[in-house]
């Protein structure tokens, strides 16, 4: 047990300090992500496009930057939404908006630019409209094809191991 | 036990690395002061550890909570944990820059009733060790005379304490530091 011997030699404090240095890296990354998430009011402010249904505007592999905020959605905005029982977010354009007069509740119909039909075929059975709270965010910016690496690593899981292995080997050769 | 071991072991450093030279001198000073009866006070380290781990704990709880439950439900806690994390990180940074600064050792001598604090720095491209020593009485002790707490600064080029091959000349270092400490403690009687 390597760190028990280190603990005896240098004390618990030195272990805690090392732990702190290491954990600070992880926690600051997570906190920055969370902070961005809270600022945009979006559960995932950066997403990768998985299909070509929004061509020619967005193609598979594009990275999208989202901002949700609290304001009502307007027709023509490109939004990312997640249906309650499906894990994969979809990025399409809003075609129709109905707003209830009293509550301000919105009912939205979306369609991918490259698709022939609207999204009612994708919604849950019986669902004709999506709600404002199913929207993860509106697209505010994008980087074309920058997300292809993520897609490859999902399609070919052993690529993750190759990447991890390369990083480990490189870190062995670095000076510090 | 650890002190006796390191006294016998040779310390060899890379003489072109200012970082290694400074680290060897800092460690040498620490060991010297400990041998002279100064017990290390870990206040600076403890403050930073507490601040750091409070932030980390909030982060870990937030991570677990937001993993299990949807975003809209866990948002309120995320606001709290991001704020706590930002505040503790900022406090730790300020503490490090304003309170701790170059200090690497703080030791108290119960018998003599005072605390010695040592800080060191090196300037870029200048192979000189600048040591700053300050002393203050242990809080609550009335017997030591009131202190002139101006710091004592000593600077010497690293070459004074290291052989060509990088071996640390502990004897020379200890005698130079000894003289500095005596001068520091003598000052206090003014």
pLDDT band for B141, please (50, 70, 90 cuts).
low
Q: Please, which residues 37-56 of chain A have a Cβ atom closer than 8 Å to chain B?
A: 37-38, 43
Q: For the whole model, what pTM was predicted?
A: 0.82
Q: Do A98 and A74 contact (CB within 8 A), yes or no?
A: no
Chain A residues within 8 A of B60 when measuring between CB atoms? 27
The reported pLDDT for the residue numbered B10 is: 79
Cα-Cα-Cα-Cα dihedral sign, residues B80, B82, B85, B88? negative
- pLDDT tens for each residue of A127-148: 999 999 999 999 999 999 999 9
| CA-only gyration radius of chain B, Å | 22
Can you tell me the distance from the alpha carbon of A95 to that of A77, in angstroms, rounded to the nearest whole number?
A: 8
pLDDT above 50: residue B2: no
pLDDT digit string, tens, across residues B112-122: 778 888 899 88
How far is Cα B118 from Cα B43, in angstroms, rounded to an integer? 14
* A166 contacts chain B (CB < 8 A): no
Residues 60-89 of B with CB under 8 A from A: 60, 62-63, 66, 70-72, 75, 78-79, 81-82, 85-86, 89
Q: What are the CA-CA distances from residue B64 to residues A22, A24, B56, B67 (Å)?
A: 19, 17, 12, 5
Q: Give me the count of residues in chain A.
A: 176
Q: How far is CA A57 from the centre of its chain?
A: 19
Q: Which residues pair with A111 in a beta bridge?
A: A93
CA distance A46 to chain B (A): 15
Could you tell me if the ipTM is greater than 0.90?
Answer: no
Q: What is the pLDDT of residue A3?
A: 63
How does pLDDT run across B146-165, given as a tens digit for each residue?
455 678 888 888 888 888 88
Structure tokens at B25: 């001198």
């Amino acid at each position: 047990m390597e760190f028990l011997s280190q603990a005896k030699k240098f004390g618990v404090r030195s272990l805690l300090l090392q732990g702190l240095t290491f954990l600070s890296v992880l926690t600051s990354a997570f906190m920055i992500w969370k902070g961005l998430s809270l600022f945009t009011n979006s559960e995932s402010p950066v997403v990768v496009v998985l299909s070509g249904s929004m061509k020619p505007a967005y193609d598979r592999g594009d990275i999208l930057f989202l901002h949700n905020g609290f304001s009502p959605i307007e027709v023509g905005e490109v939004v990312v939404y997640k249906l309650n029982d499906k894990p994969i977010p979809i990025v399409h354009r809003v075609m129709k908006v109905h707003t209830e007069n009293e509550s301000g509740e919105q009912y939205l119909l979306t369609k991918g630019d490259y698709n022939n039909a609207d999204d009612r075929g994708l919604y849950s059975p019986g669902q004709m409209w999506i709600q404002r709270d199913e929207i993860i965010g509106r697209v505010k910016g994008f980087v074309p094809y920058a997300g292809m690496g993520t897609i490859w690593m999902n399609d070919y899981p052993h690529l993750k191991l190759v990447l991890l292995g390369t990083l480990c080997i490189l870190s062995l050769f670095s000076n510090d | 036990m650890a002190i006796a071991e390191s006294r016998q072991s040779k310390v060899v450093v890379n003489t072109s690395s200012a970082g290694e030279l400074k680290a060897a001198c800092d460690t040498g000073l620490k060991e010297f002061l400990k041998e002279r009866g100064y017990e290390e006070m870990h206040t600076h380290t403890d403050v930073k550890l507490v601040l750091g781990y409070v932030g980390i704990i909030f982060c870990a709880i937030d991570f677990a909570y937001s993993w299990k439950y949807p975003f809209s439900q866990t948002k309120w806690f995320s606001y709290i944990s991001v704020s706590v994390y930002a505040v503790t990180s900022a406090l730790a940074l300020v503490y490090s820059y304003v309170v701790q600064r170059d200090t690497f050792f703080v030791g108290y001598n119960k018998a003599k009733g005072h605390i010695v604090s040592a800080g060191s720095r090196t300037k870029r491209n200048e192979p000189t060790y600048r040591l700053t020593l300050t002393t203050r009485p242990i809080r609550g002790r009335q017997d030591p005379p009131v202190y002139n707490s101006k710091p004592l600064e000593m600077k010497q080029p690293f070459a004074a304490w290291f052989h060509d091959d990088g071996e640390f000349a502990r004897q020379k270092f200890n005698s130079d530091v000894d003289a500095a400490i005596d001068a520091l403690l003598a000052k206090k009687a003014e």
